[in-house]
């Protein structure tokens, strides 16, 4: 299987839009007082606290943020969510978030969170952040919103209350999500080893027609530098398991930091570096980076597709997301294209061997040249035929269309 190389995706935005996205990204990632900052409406840096993936022993629970991002985040521009929202809001779908829990009191998710067990409390805040990327509703004066704003959320614990995950805890979370009837399941933890129980849980979710989306690599610990040597690509679970849609994170320029963890394969990429989201309490915003946040964007897009096309199976939904993605080393998810694509057929396809989707499709830019060459060749053939006919016709008439070498016999006269 091909190893995934360092990504540097092409720009998918017009030049002026790309410049705006990059300026927002630069502002978002400016170090300020030990934490990244975002760009406010007046273009002044805005301090946003970093959303942790885990909490140390004895650390206080993540509180509320007193800052709100009032400009359109770069990730929403990159994914063209405004266009996608014209066709689907995620209504009628249920997305399970297998993470640290999801705060049932988060204002942006009010009335749309159903918790399994104690998952309605989120001390870390990571699960609430992910759920917000999936389905946060818009608010006055705030341009941030989730991908599928009307989807319902099932909060499921896939970690302990401090954010530590094991194969057993993630498997239990996926099983609970399947039992809750979720049509989309997003799994934030990425584990170095799997287990038989985790494999069974994923297979059962797929058998129940759920789209399972997972982070391709673990989120880097908060404050980790990007000056490490590039690590060797490896598998992480459950993303490496067949039937799981594996998602890798990219930044506003389509790349990843030096030294970032790499998987052996990934199905899609999505924004995940310096993205804005909600916290477990209050109306303020946080900033975070990691493949788990990229997976949240893809899960939201899956909810949009299943809302717009409820007759599609989970397998067809995954196929739709991958086939409509912007082609590159690893395709970039395109919610608008996925939602608006016309379904070719509703019947399930024959099972096929899963292929590594890290190679680029054939370059579409060569097709016009190929067509031109074929047309030119056909035209040249016509010219040759006409010239041949012009040369042969007079000779044929002179010989009365007899083959060469067969002259007519002379007429015999009478004796």
Per-residue pLDDT tens digits for 106-118? 999 999 999 999 9
**217 within 8 A of 231, measured Cβ to Cβ:** no
- Alpha helices (H) in 160-273, listed in sequence order: 167-179, 196-207
Query: Tens digit of pLDDT for each residue in 330-351?
Result: 999 999 999 998 754 433 433 3
In 3D, which of 146, 165, 210, 203 has the Cα closest to residue 183?
Answer: 210
Name the region of 335 (left: φ>0; alpha: ψ -120 to 50; beta: rest): alpha
pLDDT at 138: 87
pLDDT at 363: 38
In 3D, which of 147, 91, 148, 102 has the Cα closest to residue 124?
Answer: 102
* Residue 406 buriedness (CB in 10 A; 0-12 / 13-18 / 19+): exposed
Distance between CA atoms of residues 183 and 84, nearest Å: 20
Peptide bond into 214 cis (omega under 30): no
The SS3 of residue 155 is strand
pLDDT at 109: 97
Report, as ranges of residue numbers, the positions in the chain whose pLDDT lies below 50: 1-6, 8-42, 225-226, 344-377, 406-407, 409-415
What is the H or E stretch that residue 246 is in? Answer: strand 244-250
Distance between CA atoms of residues 293 and 290, nearest Å: 6
DSSP letter (8 states) at residue 360: P
pLDDT at 404: 52
pLDDT at 257: 81
pLDDT at 264: 96
> In this structure, is the dihedral angle defined by the CA atoms of residues 334, 337, 342 and 344, taken in order, positive or negative?
negative
Distance between CA atoms of residues 49 and 66, nearest Å: 9
């Amino acid at each position: 299987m091909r190893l995934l190389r360092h990504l540097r995706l092409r720009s998918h935005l017009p030049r002026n839009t790309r410049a705006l996205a990059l300026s927002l990204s630069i502002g978002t990632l400016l170090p300020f007082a030990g934490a990244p900052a975002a760009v406010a409406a007046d273009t002044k840096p805005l301090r946003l606290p970093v959303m942790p993936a885990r909490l140390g022993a004895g650390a206080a629970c993540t509180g509320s943020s007193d800052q709100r991002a009032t400009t359109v985040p770069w990730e929403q521009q990159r994914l063209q969510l405004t266009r996608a929202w014209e066709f689907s809001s995620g209504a009628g779908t249920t997305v399970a978030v297998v993470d640290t829990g999801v705060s049932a009191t988060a204002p942006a998710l009010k009335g749309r969170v159903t918790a399994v067990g104690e998952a309605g409390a989120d001390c870390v805040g990571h699960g609430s952040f992910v759920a917000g990327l999936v389905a946060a509703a818009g608010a006055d004066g705030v341009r941030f919103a989730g991908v599928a704003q009307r989807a319902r959320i099932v909060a499921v614990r896939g970690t302990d209350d401090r954010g530590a995950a094991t194969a057993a805890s993630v498997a239990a979370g996926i099983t609970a999500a399947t039992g809750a009837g979720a049509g989309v399941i997003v799994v934030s933890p990425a584990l170095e080893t799997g287990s038989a129980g985790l494999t069974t849980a994923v297979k059962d979710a797929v058998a129940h027609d759920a789209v399972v989306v997972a982070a391709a690599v673990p989120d880097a610990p908060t404050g980790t530098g990007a000056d490490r040597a590039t690590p060797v690509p490896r598998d992480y679970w459950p993303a490496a398991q067949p039937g799981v849609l594996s998602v890798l994170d990219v930044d506003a320029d389509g790349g990843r930091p030096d030294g970032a963890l790499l998987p052996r394969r990934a199905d899609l990429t999505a924004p995940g570096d310096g993205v804005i989201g909600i916290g477990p309490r209050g109306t303020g915003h946080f900033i975070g980076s990691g493949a788990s946040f990229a997976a949240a964007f893809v899960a939201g897009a899956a909810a949009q597709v299943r809302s717009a096309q409820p007759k599609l199976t989970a397998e067809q939904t995954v196929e739709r997301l991958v086939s409509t993605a912007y082609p590159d080393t690893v395709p970039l998810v395109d919610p608008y294209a996925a939602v608006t694509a016309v379904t070719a057929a509703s019947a399930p396809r024959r099972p096929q061997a899963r292929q590594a989707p890290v190679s680029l499709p054939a370059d579409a830019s060569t097709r016009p040249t190929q067509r031109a060459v074929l047309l030119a060749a056909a035209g040249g053939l016509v010219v040759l035929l006409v010239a041949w006919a012009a040369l042969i016709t007079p000779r044929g008439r002179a010989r009365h269309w007899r083959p060469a070498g067969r002259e007519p016999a002379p007429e015999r006269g009478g004796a």
